[in-house]
Amino acid sequence: MTEQKTLTLSEVIKKDETQSEQIVTKKETYELEPLKQYVERTKKIIGWVMSFTSPNDWVIYNDGVAYLRATGAERIATLMNITWSKPEYETIDVKDDEGKLTERIVICRANFILDNNNYKRVIDGIEGYSSTRDISVNKHRLPPQEVSLKELRKVAFSKMILEGIRRLLGIREIPLDYLPEKWRDKIQKVEFTNISEYKEYIHQWLLRKANGNAEKYKEILLKISNIPAIQQDPVDDINKLSNKAVKYIYKKYINKGGENYEHNSN
């Protein structure tokens, strides 16, 4: 009888990286990891992560892809010896023309380290964001002046942990067919039911891309809102977007984590 060996996460990553290094050395040029090898490696890592999580640690948004929740990320961090440097916090106040506070944003930043079974990986500058727009009581948004800085830091810290785990393990988003079949009906599904929810999601994405800078925010919005195909002219205010443009921007730029914007903005 052949003995079946289950690789640990570090062994999977280390084995695949060694193979990739050999390919690079042989051809003396940089190449992307072969697609088949990447898919197999990803499936192994996802399977390993699944053993530490439950359906309650995942959520499915409109795009039909599963995303890890903060609760699952924190559990994985503990079990896999993932640590981070002392967090640094940055606070950004957004004010209107009269100097009135309209929004407060907190950025939490740290370096993440995966040190597991002699395998070590470090990613610097992982960030988590929170905004007074995120905080509500009984589904009613609080005025920014009523949201404590402590609460904003707590939310930003939690989001930073989630982003760090996702980045270290390469599990930002997972196709449903990678998940255990018995989980699929148990994972919470979140769907946007009206345009205002789409706009809020786009707003939060723009804030992150602009690091809270109002001018940069407008600059990015002007670029992505120029959509001749649906007769949408460039605008610097989300509320001036047509409903069709809102859904177009959400689908093209945000569903994929903003990668399309990074590619097209050069």
SS3 128: strand
Conformational region of residue 192, where left means phi above 0, alpha means psi within -120 to 50, and beta covers everything else = beta
Compare 43 and 25 and report the one with higher pLDDT. Answer: 43
Question: Is residue 122 within 8 Å of 111, Cβ to Cβ?
Answer: yes
- Looking at per-residue pLDDT, the higher value among 204 and 101 belongs to 101
pLDDT in tens, 58-100: 888 766 778 888 888 888 888 888 899 999 999 988 887 788 8
CA angle 92, 124, 19 (to 5 degrees): 150
Q: Is the dihedral of CA 208, 209, 212, 217 positive or negative?
A: negative
Confidence of residue 27 (pLDDT cuts 50, 70, 90): very low
Can you give the pTM of this predicted structure? 0.65
Torsion sign across C-alpha atoms 5, 119, 36, 166: positive
pLDDT tens figures, 139-182: 677 888 888 999 999 989 998 998 898 888 877 777 778 788 88
Mean pLDDT of 16-45: 52
106 close to 89: Cβ distance less than 8 angstroms: yes
Number of Cβ within a 10 Å radius of residue 65? 16
What's the rounded Cα separation, in Å, for the pair 40 and 12? 10
